[in-house]
Structures are given as structure tokens and as C-alpha cells.
Chain A
Amino acid sequence: MNPETESTLLNLSYLNRIYRVIIGLLSAGFLWIVWPYISNVVLILVFAFLFTTLLLKSVDGLERRINSRGFSVLIVTVGLLAGIGIFIGSFISELSQQASEFSNRVDTETLTAEFNKLGEKFAAAIPGGLAAGSGDFSAALSGFIQMVVENLAALAGVIGSFVINAAMILIFTIILLAEYHHFKKLLVGFFSNKYFEVGLALIYNIEKSVSSYLRGQFLAAASVAVMSLAGLTLLNFFGANLTLTVFIGIIAGLANLIPLVGPFVGMVPAILIAFMNNIGNDAAMAHQLFGAVPSPFYVLDIVLMFIIVQQIEGNLITPTLVGKSVGIHPMMVMISLIIGGTIMGPLGMLFAVPATGILKVITQEIMFVRRNAHLL
């Protein structure tokens, strides 16, 4: 090749790169502008995809038995909705029963007196300088309740939007479940002959990575639910007087799906139930953890129990079930959680690890294509 032609080709290659950078920047800018309008739809689609991945094996398995895709989707969806409905229905009914028993048992004066006693106890336990702000505990609590009541309208709006989004997710999940294999085939059809096999492998690997991550997460959540239930039963054995233990266990398990924040969310209902059941009980108020640390209403016992469950889950169960399935370094998991949390809050944290897993698969495939470009 003569030097002039070589130099022209080199210039063209540079121009090509500059052109690609400009196109990339323009696309990013366009996405930045459009994102606020499409973010909700994208979120709904992502959730629908995750639910589809989770339920796909069941639908495929059922289709194998009854030989009808439509009926399989219907049975699995109705079964799931019935399960969720039964859980929420019985939880609300048990909780309202518990609340009515609580209101019959405890009058306002006793409640205020118990709050003040609890507040004093905490104030005494906290070192001098920190205790300054913890004055009237019951006043602070009433202030909080008033704030909640004032924000009820906003709460109704949030619940309404949640219900609409949940309905949309359900509809998209049903459509995706029914047409999953057809959609996948359509997607593969977009690849050119040259990248066809690589594209197929990419889709298959993403599918495998997301599905094993989700299955791992749900197994980890189930193990947290079982361990929490066992822990609460053990605390009851020592007189903690906790009810609704099965529900608390399931909530702790489900909350565990959200990394970092979830474990603390799981503790809240247990502490509330311990407080509701033990108010007015002097023995519970005077309870001490290991006979040394004051733990009114078994609050510290509950916190300790959940910390132990989280440690077992975080150090033994999740690394075995989830870490291996996605194959991401723990430090990368932490970084992705921080980024996900910064961008989208708890939802971002929920999707951070599978999204990183998908990015890892895509990067691996791109590297693979670059390495083997001469063979395609």
C-alpha cells in the first residue's frame, strides 16, 4: 500500500471514531432529556421482565403438562395473585384484630405513661451530651402521628399510583409470559447474519444470569424468613410474647430483597408487635438482654436476633446462592449498590446487582466479539 493511501485510510479511521463519539454523546443527551417521560414505563417493563424471568420456569413446566401456554400463564398468574391476596388479607385481618385488642387493653393515659417511662429509660441509657435532645418522648411521638395524618392525602396519591403501576406490571408480565419465546425470536431476528450466533448467545447468557440471580435472591429471602421465624419463636420461648411471627418472618424475607436497607425494614414490624403486646407489662419493661443490658419490650433482643440472621444470610447463604450465580466481586456489588441507591433510591438498590450482572455479560460478549472479529 502506498504511503498516501495509508495516510488517507488512517484519517478516515480517526474521522470514523470522532463520528462515533459524537453519535454517542447525542444519544446520551437525547436519553437525558427524554428519561423523565419514559422512566416510569421503563421501570414497569423492568419489573415485568423480572417477574417474567421468575415465573417462566413454572409456566414452561405447566405448559409441558397441560399442553396449553394460555392456560399455564392463567393458572400461574392466578395462583400468584391468590397467594399475595391471601397473605395480605390474612395479615391485615390479624393486624386489625391485634390493634383492636391493643386499643381495648390500653387507654391513652397508660400509653402516655409508658411512652414517658420508655423515654426516660432511653435518656438514662444515652450518655450525657446526647440525652439533651430526648426530652418529652410522648410529645415527639404525637408530633410524628400528627404529621402522618396531615400527609394522608399525599399517601392516598402514592397508594393510587402504586396500584396503577402494579396493575400495569401485572398486564405486561402476563403478555411477556404468554409471548416470551416469540418475543425472544423476534429480538434475535434483528441481528445481522454476521452477529446472529453471538447475539443469540448474548441473550441466552443474560437470561441465565438474571434468572439464576433472582432464584438465588428468593432462596436467600426464604432462608431469612425461616431463620427469622425460628428466632422469633426462640424469643417467645424466653417470654417476648410476640405474635404474627409467620407474617413478620415473611416480611423480613421479602424486605431482604432490597440490599442494605431491607434488613432494617424487617425489624420494624417485630419491634412494633413487641411494643403493642408488652405495653403495661412491667416484667417486659424491665427485661435485660443477657441479664446485663436494659432491653425494654425485648427490643434489643429482637435487633440482635435480626443482626445474627443477617450475618448468617450475608456471609453464608447469599455468597453461596447469589454471589456465585452472578459472579461479581463483593466490592463491585457494594459500588453498584451505592450507584443504584444514588440514582433511584431503594428501587435502584434492588436492581443494582442484576443490572451489573447484565452489564458484565454484555461487556464479556463485546470483548469476545472484538477478540474473534476476524472469525465472524
Chain B
Amino acid sequence: MVLFWLTARGNKMKNALWKNIFQGWNRQESETVLTLKQVPVFKGFTDKEFQDLEKLFHRRTYDAGEFVFKNRAPGEGMYIIMRGAVKITVGTRANDEKILAELSEGNFFGELALFDDEPRSANAIATVQSDLLGFFTADLMTLNDRNPQMGNKILFNLGGLIGERLRQTNQLLFEEKSE
């Protein structure tokens, strides 16, 4: 009986030991990592890099109707929508609000602030209660110090996306002029 108890206890301890040693193997990806994986800015990142990146992001919760930032406010970085929705507008809510874009989960905005010191060019307002991930110039600088490879990947991807948007804008402008 005692032998059985000791063996059972020993097995239990052994299992706990193995469980602890291999605890990282079956780790579930966090919600933040899953969101980041949807964002084209982080295209080409490895799982390890996503885990490192996760530590740099700031998770914030905004109520419905709350400003994420206002037009002409000083900008420090970009936001990714983890849960909820955000509208990008110009003008004031009382009078001449014009919605430029309605963004949902996995979309990002405000990325221009990572590159320049110019103020924000539009308002960003949460339309429902939203969880956003913030990534700022200070974080990008830190990342460049700690892991320049990752920093360069982000800058390359962002450059590509901004170039793509510029091409689309040019196309729209061209179509507008030819009409």
C-alpha cells in the first residue's frame, strides 16, 4: 500500500517536472500575437519574433465614442484594432463630421506618426468599446536598439504599405482629373 502510494506520488512529481520543463512547447498564442499576425506590417516575422514584439505593444481599452486621438494633436505612433471598431474622421462631431474610413479588427491606423513629428491629420474615434494595441516611436527606437533586424523588417513593410497607399491615391487623383 505504502509502496503504491510512494510510486503514485513519485509519478505525480515526475509528471509535474516534465510539465514544467516542456511548458513552453504547447503554449497557446496570445490574443495580441494572433492580432499582430493579421497585420501586414509584421509580414515575415517568426513566432519567436512575434513573442518578442508582443512585449513592446501597449494594450488600451476605449469606450464607444471616445477619441483615440484628435485631428492636429501631436502624434506618437500607430494603433492596431484588436477588438471593436474605429472611425477615422475630419471636422467636428457637432457640425461637419466627414467619415474617411471605418476600420475593424486587424486594421491599423496612425502609422505616419512613426516617421514624422507632424500632428495627426484626422480624428480617430472608437465606435464601440474597443481594445487597441499601440506601437510608438519610442518603442520602435527601443526595438532598433535591441533587435535591429526586427526594426528593419517593420520599417520595410511600412514603407511598402505607404507606397501602396500613395499609388492608390495617385490613381484616384488621376481618375478624378480625367473625369
Residue positions of A touching B, CB distance < 8 A: 57, 60-61, 63-64, 181-182, 185, 188-189, 193, 196-198, 200-201, 203-204, 368, 372, 375-376
Contact = CB atoms under 8 A, between A and B. Distances in A.
Contacts of B72: 375
Nearest to A185: B58
B62 to A, nearest CB: 6
B66 A368 contact: no
Given A185-B58, A193-B60, A60 B70 contact: no
B76 A197 contact: yes
Interface string B60-78: 1010001011111111110
10 closest A-B pairs by beta carbon, nearest first, are A204-B138, A375-B73, A197-B76, A60-B146, A60-B145, A375-B70, A200-B136, A201-B76, A375-B72, A64-B147
A252 B104 CA distance: 62
B84 interface: no
B55 interface: yes
B58 A188 contact: yes
A346 B146 CA distance: 35
Contacts of B71: 375
Given A197-B74, A375-B70, A182 B55 contact: yes
Given A64-B147, A185-B55, A197 B70 contact: no
A61 B72 CA distance: 37
B75 A197 contact: yes
Contact of B76 (A60, A64, A200, A368): A200
B58 A189 contact: yes
B138 A368 contact: no
A193 B74 contact: no
A64 B58 CA distance: 22
Contacts of A185: 55-56, 58
Contact of B62 (A182, A193, A197): A193
B148 interface: yes
Interface string B132-145: 00101110011001
Nearest to A371: B74
Contacts, number: 58
A181 B142 CA distance: 9
B134 A196 contact: yes
Interface of B: 55-56, 58, 60, 62, 66, 68-77, 119, 134, 136-138, 141-142, 145-148
Nearest to A188: B58
A63 to B, nearest CB: 6
B148 to A, nearest CB: 7
Contacts of B138: 200-201, 203-204
Contacts of A368: 74
Given A63-B146, A197-B77, 7 more contacts: A64-B147, A185-B55, A193-B62, A196-B58, A197-B76, A204-B137, A204-B141
B145 A61 contact: yes
Nearest to A56: B145
Contacts of A376: 70, 73
Nearest to A189: B58
Contacts of B136: 197, 200
A203 to B, nearest CB: 7
B58 A372 contact: no
A196 B60 contact: yes
Pick the most buried of B75, B138, B145: most chain A CB atoms within 10 A of its CB: B138
A188 B134 CA distance: 11
7 contacts: A64-B146, A185-B55, A188-B58, A201-B76, A204-B138, A375-B71, A375-B73
Contacts of B134: 196-197
B45 to A, nearest CB: 15
A99 B74 CA distance: 64
A188 B76 CA distance: 13
Contacts of A193: 60, 62, 66, 68
Contacts of B141: 204
B143 to A, nearest CB: 10
B46 to A, nearest CB: 12
A218 to B, nearest CB: 18
A39 B177 CA distance: 70
Contacts of A189: 58
Contacts of A63: 146
A200 B136 CA distance: 8
Nearest to B52: A67
Nearest to B76: A197
A31 B150 CA distance: 45
A63 B150 CA distance: 14
A204 B55 CA distance: 17
Nearest to B74: A372
A264 B66 CA distance: 59
B78 to A, nearest CB: 11
B80 to A, nearest CB: 15
Nearest to B126: A193
A64 B151 CA distance: 12
A203 B136 CA distance: 12
B2 to A, nearest CB: 42
A193 B132 CA distance: 11
